[in-house]
């Protein structure tokens, strides 16, 4: 892990992952200390000319919700057609206050809001691909079309949506950096330590 200052260029974009009310204290799927990322991200974003946000955007009854599977409870894992799926409490339901961005976010240079997780039968952690690992969100093509070469990530949660977004950014050929101070994790059964190891192995720069 590096201890360094981010010096963005015109070819670099800040990717802010899912800083939404339901992932902050008091929300339906609160990440511990999740709202602490807000002032850090605001400060970080001042140095970037280009900012993209992702927004979890689930329909009612989404297949990743425990409530959609009678007899199941949240944080258990079931097999879906695309593989193992952790079941979550209902969260970030389209149009609800829980799905809204945290009110403290101050990102006037945001150029795109990419919504994900809206396919009823497929969950979506990554900003780049759905959990079937085949269905693209279109973000990689957008970034290439804009001429971006580097992606710096921050947001919630380190060990799920941030992790998969970072891995997919690196796999798509972008130089990928993660600002750890601007992230918080769920740490479900050791998932945070595994996430850090996976990102480091994939060549993601952790600062």
Show the tokens assigned to 10: 């015109």
Tokens of 180: 């750890």
- 116 given a catalytic annotation: yes
Candidate list 18, 22, 159, 168, residue with the active-site label: 18
Catalytic residue among 35, 90, 92, 116: 116
Catalytic residue (one of 35, 161, 168, 183): 161
How far CA 82 is from CA of 65, 72, 73, 167, in Å, comes to 16, 19, 20, 18
Cβ 66 vs Cβ 88: under 8 Å: yes
Distance CA 124, CA 145 (A): 23
Q: Is 111 left (phi over 0), alpha (psi -120 to 50) or beta?
A: alpha
Active site residue 154: no
Whether 24 is catalytic is: no
The residues assigned a catalytic role are 18, 116, 161
């Amino acid at each position: 892990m590096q201890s360094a200052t981010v010096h963005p260029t015109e070819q670099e974009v800040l990717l802010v992952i899912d800083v939404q009310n339901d992932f902050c204290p008091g929300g339906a799927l609160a990440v511990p200390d999740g709202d602490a990322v807000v002032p850090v991200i605001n400060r970080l974003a001042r140095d970037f000319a280009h900012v993209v946000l992702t927004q979890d955007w689930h329909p009612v009854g989404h297949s990743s919700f425990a409530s959609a599977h009678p007899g199941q409870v949240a944080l258990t894992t079931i097999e879906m057609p695309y593989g193992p799926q952790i079941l979550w409490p209902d969260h970030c339901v389209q149009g609800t206050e829980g799905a809204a961005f945290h009110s403290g976010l101050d990102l006037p240079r945001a150029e795109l809001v990419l919504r994900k997780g809206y396919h009823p039968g497929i969950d979506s952690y990554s900003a780049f691909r759905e959990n079937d690992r085949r269905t693209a969100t279109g973000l990689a093509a957008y970034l290439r079309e804009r001429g971006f070469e580097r992606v710096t990530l921050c947001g919630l949660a380190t060990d799920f949506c941030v992790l998969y977004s970072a891995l997919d950014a690196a796999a798509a050929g972008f130089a990928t950096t993660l600002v750890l101070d601007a992230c918080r994790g769920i740490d479900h059964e050791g998932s945070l330590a595994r996430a850090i190891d996976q990102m480091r192995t994939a060549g993601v720069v952790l600062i």
